Amino acid sequence: MKFNLDNEYEMPEAACPACGAVFDRASGSGSKPEPGSLSICIRCAAMLQFTSTLELAELTAAEFLELPDDVQRELRRISAAVVTTGAMVQSRQPKPERPALSMWTIYDHPSDLPEYFVARQWLTAPDAPVATSLVIKSITLERLREILSAQGLVCMPRAPNDDPGIVETWL
């Protein structure tokens, strides 16, 4: 299945439940979104579904796995494209005085997002790394690795003294 993103539709305002971004338009194929239609947040790349009132709800892992394989692949492709093309809104963290090294640390089902593997961006700072508000989440560890690798990042294995919830870090 391929989603055609050439059509744009005005929609009632709806907020992404993952990042809070508010949208009044949707792009898609065929017809205007209706309850049950799938979507991807262009700010945080979350996989979403329109509710009966055309609000947005985040797909759970179970709901995602119930989708046909071709739909799962296409949602992953579009979500990765949002991340890869930089369509995501950048962090609101203040810029450090010197160039910062960006690091992405992957966590194994953290308590704030227990259904997902989560990659969080950190920036180096003079005293210690500083977390940004950018997060990429995926049902599978392999998908996060694909996304980060596609950005040209390199995996650094987990250090023995790292928090047990850390899987690895990408530079």
Looking at residue 48, which CATH number applies to its domain? 2.20.28.160
Q: What is the pLDDT of residue 90?
A: 44
Can you tell me the distance from the alpha carbon of 38 to that of 71, in angstroms, rounded to the nearest whole number? 9
CA–CA gap between residue 36 and residue 121 (Å, rounded)? 31
Q: Which domain holds residue 115?
A: 102-170
Tokens 């010197």, residue? Answer: 98
56 and 123 fall within a common domain: no
Q: 108 and 49 in one domain? A: no
pLDDT for res 115 = 93
In this structure, is residue 160 part of a structural domain? Answer: yes
Contact assessment for residue 69 and residue 79, using Cβ atoms and an 8 Å cutoff: no
Integer angstrom CA distances of residue 144 from 20, 79, 119:
22, 11, 7
At residue 82, the pLDDT reads 67
- Whether 158 is covered by a domain: the verdict is yes
Tally of structural domains, the chain: 2
> Looking at the domain assignment, is residue 111 inside a domain?
yes
- Residue 18 counted as domain residue: yes
User: Exposed/middle/buried for 92, CB within 10 Å: 0-12, 13-18, 19+?
Assistant: exposed
**77 & 135 share domain:** no
Which pair of structure tokens corresponds to residue 130?
Answer: 């500083």
Measure the N-to-C terminal CA separation of the chain; round to a whole number of Å.
33
- Does 94 fall in a domain? no
Residue 114 has which token pair? Answer: 């227990």
- Check residue 85 and give its pLDDT: 52
Here the tokens at position 166 are 């850390």
Say whether pTM exceeds 0.85.
no
Distance CA(127)–CA(26), nearest Å, equals 43
Those residues of the chain that have pLDDT short of 70 are: 1-7, 28-30, 81-100, 125-126
Domain co-membership, 56 together with 110: no
91/114 Cα distance (integer angstroms): 23
Based on the fold, state whether residues 120 and 158 are members of the same structural domain.
yes
Does some domain include residue 165? yes
pLDDT at residue 150 in the model: 85
